[in-house]
């Protein structure tokens, strides 16, 4: 499975983020698409995940209420939308695919290359 993330860049505080993650090859081998992020000097942390089969979702408390993970089954693409951006949202964002709807990065088998999101005025 290959994952490729798009989006990100330099965004304003209070602004809006939309990331996409396109999956190809062996898409039958995973059930969950997730987003993680890693800020400099910090561990990779869970952001959101969606089970592909039933659309159930999980969100980290830090983004809950201002983030939405969604999918386009026909395109094998997952999306992460986040509004009310804060400077602490600055990180490299990674999409990942795995078999379990988990908060742990160790439960994900496939990873995209990461895309930088910087929230700053």
Interior angle at CA 19, CA 102 and CA 36, nearest 5: 30
Q: What's the Rg (C-alpha) of the chain?
A: 13
Tokens describing residue 57: 């979702």
Question: What tens-digit pLDDT sequence spans the chain (121 residues)?
Answer: 899 999 989 999 999 999 999 998 866 678 899 999 999 999 999 999 999 888 899 999 999 999 999 999 888 899 999 999 999 999 999 999 998 889 999 999 999 999 999 999 9
DSSP state of 121: -
Cβ proximity of 121 and 12 under 8 Å: yes
Q: What residues form DSSP beta bridges with 118?
A: 10
Tell me how far apart the alpha carbons of residues 5 and 17 are, in angstroms, rounded to a whole number.
Answer: 13
Helix, strand, coil tally for the chain in percent (to 5)? 10, 50, 40
């Amino acid at each position: 499975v290959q994952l490729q993330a798009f989006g990100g860049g330099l965004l304003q505080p209070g602004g809006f983020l939309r990331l996409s993650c396109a999956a190809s090859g062996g898409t039958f081998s995973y059930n969950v698409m997730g987003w993680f992020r890693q800020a400099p000097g910090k561990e990779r942390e869970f952001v959101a995940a969606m089970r592909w089969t039933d659309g159930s979702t999980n969100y980290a408390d830090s983004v809950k209420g201002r983030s939405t993970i969604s999918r386009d089954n026909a395109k094998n693409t997952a999306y992460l939308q986040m509004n009310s951006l804060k400077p602490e949202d600055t990180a490299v964002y990674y999409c990942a695919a795995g078999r379990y709807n988990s908060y742990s990065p160790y439960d994900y088998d496939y990873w995209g290359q990461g895309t930088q999101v910087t929230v700053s005025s």
